[in-house]
A and B are shown apart, each in its own frame.
Chain A
Amino acid sequence: MVSGDRPTEPFARFEQFSITYDTASTPSLAGLTLDLYGDQLTLVTGPSGSGKSTLGRVVAGFVPRLLGGKVGGSARILDHDVDAESAHEITESIGMVFDNPFDQLTAATRTVFDEAAYALENEGLPPAEIIARVLSALESVGLAGIAGQHPRRLSGGQSQRLAIACALAQQKPILVLDDPTSQLDPTGTAEVVSMVRKLRRDHATVVLIAQDLSRWLEITDRLVVLDEGRLAADGRPASLLADPGPLAGKILIPRYIAIWAELRSRGMGLGDHAPRGTDQLISSLQAAVRVGRS
């Protein structure tokens, strides 16, 4: 558990939760006990097959409702049991952005505007409100200028921003981002990272699933590590990664943390909290050098 300031009630509560897909012989999540809180960016990581994406799909209300599976224990998201009739209400409140930037578009719209409006039309909102909300959402992800463009003409990064805009237009209070940069080039990755930073500045609740931690740690409030469907580690990134040794093999240790840990093991006074980015590492090194000189 993460100590410190946090809202009192979690929006997601897993208690000894297990799920085995109908097509699998081993559980994707096995006896998971975990609470997720609002107004935080929770970064969920772990090796391939550790259950990260399944966790995201449970939080978004897709599993077991739409994808099936044998459930054990309990998981309650926004006070709805994921295995109950009312689980569709979870999906109505939680937005999800997938790893593939193109397959998550509806494939039935001819403009960026229509794509972002699709969910609001399904909600039955008045046209004037749809237009206002869509334009505002596209503006906030920087796509308002290409609202009339065909969605298939977008780059991967733009498609991911459009998927985020769809959730923002729906005013969903919680976002699950499933490895949103894994299929993007460096430009697209930079666009999405910058977008997620903005979301955090606006206090959005984000559950981010990613294997590569390096670009996300700076904005991560809490790090959850899964391994073979079980909770392997959970805490604030700076303290959890202060001793990265036990996590080796379970997560991709960012280079700046590996360097920091190595220098620290050689006796350099770099403090007890791991840096959350290259800038922080440089600052720590400059401070250590200054102390050494004086």
Chain B
Amino acid sequence: MEAGTNTWSRARVAALYEIGNTWLHRVHPLTKLAAVLPLSVAGFAGDTIRVPAVLLLAAVITLLVSRLGSIVLKSLRLIAPMTFALFVIHGVVRPYPSEPIASWGPISINAEGLALAGTTAARLAVFVVAVTAAMATVHPKIFATALIQRGVSHKLAYAYLAGAELLPEMRLRAAQILDAQQSRGFDTRGSLPRRFRTLFALLKPLLVSSLIGVEMRTLALESRGFSRVGTRTSAAEVEDRGRVLQRLLLAAAVPLIVLAVVW
């Protein structure tokens, strides 16, 4: 069961992290995490689109100036389906008492709904851009090491790291099973019902192999001292700094909420 090149290319890594050395890469990972809170909370606090729109604009300009346009694109990919759904639900499907601005038969577009969809989308966008910028500029291992340094359980840090690898891992496993099934003549192309049959044929072996894999992985982790009691270190040294700044950023959530509500 070799991990052939074809299987690998189909199961490409879907990780968020981007290698780089911008000022944002150099900021302590927990400082970036601390900045996510006031930004997101302020985005959700106000009644109108003004605050989230300004925050979003500021974040996008900062990222573009910092040559981190790829993070904007990544965020856009995450937000786009949600935004589309919001505009369909609030702008088209949901009924409003006010007059529609346009209508085609049973479909009508309402200004009130569009405004609500726009505000909600902008709020979500602030949160997604902030989290993506924080996570895409820190190596998962550095982030986990920083968390452990501040007393977070190494088991929780493992869960974070394994979570980040889960999707590509499952993709690879599914691609291998699909390869095996296709090599035995199983046709995965064609009509929708046939594709559904393919999905069910894939799910059972995927589940079973994952469960078997869990037992082996548990033993392998145990063999590498996963349950060991005592101090842990990291080959990736992370300077423990920025505690004051991180507290200030967390505290900044309060005045930002007030500002967003008042504005």
Binding site for B on A (CB under 8 A): 57, 60, 62, 66-67, 88, 91-92, 95-96, 98, 100-110, 113-114, 117-127, 130-131, 134, 150, 152-157, 159, 163, 166-167, 170, 183-185, 188
In angstroms, how far is the closest chain A Cβ from the Cβ of B100?
A: 51
Number of interface residues of B (CB under 8 A): 45
Q: Give CA–CA (A124, B232) in the complex, Å.
A: 4
Residue ID in chain A nearest B1 by CB atoms: A183
- Once A153-B8, A156-B3 are accepted as A-B contacts, the answer to whether A103 and B227 lie under 8 Å apart by CB is no
- Once A156-B2, A170-B224 are accepted as A-B contacts, the answer to whether A96 and B234 lie under 8 Å apart by CB is no
Inter-chain contact A121/B232, CB cutoff 8 Å: yes
Inter-chain contact B233/A155, CB cutoff 8 Å: no
Q: Give CA–CA (A67, B222) in the complex, Å.
A: 12
In angstroms, how far is the closest chain B Cβ from the Cβ of A168?
A: 13
Known: A117-B235, A122-B225, A170-B225; 15 extra A-B contacts, CB below 8 A, are A60-B223, A66-B219, A67-B215, A91-B222, A106-B162, A106-B224, A107-B165, A107-B169, A109-B141, A114-B236, A122-B224, A127-B233, A127-B234, A127-B235, A131-B235
Inter-chain contact B235/A120, CB cutoff 8 Å: yes
Inter-chain contact A152/B8, CB cutoff 8 Å: yes
For residue A96, which residues in chain B have a CB less than 8 angstroms away from its CB?
219-220, 223
Inter-chain contact A66/B222, CB cutoff 8 Å: yes
For residue A107, which residues in chain B have a CB less than 8 angstroms away from its CB?
162, 165-166, 169, 217
Q: Give CA–CA (A154, B1) in the complex, Å.
A: 12
For residue B169, which residues in chain A have a CB less than 8 angstroms away from its CB?
107, 152
Inter-chain contact A119/B217, CB cutoff 8 Å: no
- Once A110-B141, A123-B228, A156-B1 are accepted as A-B contacts, the answer to whether A103 and B234 lie under 8 Å apart by CB is no
Does B221 touch A at the CB level, under 8 Å? yes
Inter-chain contact B233/A126, CB cutoff 8 Å: yes
In angstroms, how far is the closest chain B Cβ from the Cβ of A101?
A: 8
Inter-chain contact B15/A110, CB cutoff 8 Å: yes
Contact residues, B193-250 vs A (CB, 8 A): 212-213, 215-228, 230-237
For residue A121, which residues in chain B have a CB less than 8 angstroms away from its CB?
232-235
- Once A108-B165, A109-B161, A120-B235 are accepted as A-B contacts, the answer to whether A103 and B2 lie under 8 Å apart by CB is no
- Once A66-B218, A126-B233 are accepted as A-B contacts, the answer to whether A119 and B224 lie under 8 Å apart by CB is yes
Inter-chain contact B223/A122, CB cutoff 8 Å: no
Q: Give CA–CA (A36, B23) in the complex, Å.
A: 58
Inter-chain contact B168/A152, CB cutoff 8 Å: yes
Inter-chain contact B228/A122, CB cutoff 8 Å: yes
Pick from B158, B164, B213: contact of A103, CB under 8 Å: B213
Q: Give CA–CA (A60, B222) in the complex, Å.
A: 10
Residue ID in chain A nearest B220 by CB atoms: A104
Inter-chain contact B1/A98, CB cutoff 8 Å: no
Pick from B2, B168, B224, B227: contact of A118, CB under 8 Å: B224
Residue ID in chain A nearest B234 by CB atoms: A121
Q: Give CA–CA (A107, B227) in the complex, Å.
A: 16
